């Protein structure tokens, strides 16, 4: 069998892998007092998207944290979970100290910032001295006891969706793609750089190494011709 059909088949797999997108839209928060929870999350500065009821048996309130693609729901008739039983709800911030200071200024009881030397390690006081991503935290709870965790992320690891990518991460990917594309372009047939860049970045987001992503991007361009 010649290599060309295999290359096109591989390129097709790159395009169609994970075709069914599943974007987390809403997390339900169990609360005992809907109006009290509404005041709390409104005071955080979160956006109130909806508040509607059907009789006395059903009510849903939706808030969205600033910059978040995912919202929260709470209300009446939404869940049988015990109020206050939600734990480990992550809020990603680029500056843990600034985010904590803002919450404190809004009257929220927030823990001191702490960090962990590694996964499963005990907490240490203060933010990570090197300000590495994923290791600095602060916590707070809503009036029912649902627990929120602030986590500082400045640069994301590969494997995250483009919808979650921040500017520094995308900048790094583009610079990396530019370098790899230069090596490809010197010997490749005439093509538009955008197709190669797109295939490369998607491959890197799926956890491929730079070398593997460059190969995938090249195969994608072969299949596109």
How much of the chain is helix, strand and coil, in % rounded to 5?
Answer: 35, 20, 40
Average pLDDT (48-77) is: 95
pLDDT digits (tens, 9 = 90+) for 131-182: 998 999 999 999 999 999 999 988 766 555 555 556 766 777 788 888 888 8
pLDDT band at 7, cuts 50/70/90? Answer: very low
**DSSP state at residue 48:** E
Angle between helices 3-16 and 210-224 (to 10 degrees): 110
Distance CA 171, CA 63 (A): 30
CA triple 10-199-214, angle to 5 deg: 80
């Amino acid at each position: 069998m010649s290599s060309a059909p295999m290359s096109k088949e591989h390129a097709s797999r790159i395009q169609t892998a994970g075709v069914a997108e599943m974007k987390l839209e809403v997390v339900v928060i169990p609360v005992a007092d809907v109006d009290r929870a509404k005041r709390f999350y409104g005071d955080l500065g979160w956006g109130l998207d909806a508040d509607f009821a059907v009789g006395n048996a059903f009510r849903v309130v939706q808030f969205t944290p600033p910059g978040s693609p995912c919202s929260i729901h709470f209300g009446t008739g939404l869940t049988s979970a015990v109020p206050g039983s939600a734990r480990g709800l992550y809020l990603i911030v680029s500056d843990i100290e600034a985010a904590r200071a803002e919450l404190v200024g809004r009257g929220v009881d927030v823990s001191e910032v702490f960090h962990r030397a590694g996964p499963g390690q005990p907490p240490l006081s203060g933010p990570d001295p090197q300000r590495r991503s994923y290791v600095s935290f602060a916590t707070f709870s809503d009036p029912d006891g649902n627990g929120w965790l602030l986590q500082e992320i400045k640069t994301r690891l590969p494997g995250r969706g483009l919808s979650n990518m921040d500017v520094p991460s995308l900048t790094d990917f583009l610079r990396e793609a530019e370098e790899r594309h230069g090596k490809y372009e010197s010997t490749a047939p005439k093509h538009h750089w955008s197709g190669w860049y797109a295939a490369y970045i998607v491959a890197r987001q799926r956890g491929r190494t730079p070398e593997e992503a460059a190969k995938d991007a090249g195969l994608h361009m072969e299949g596109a011709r």
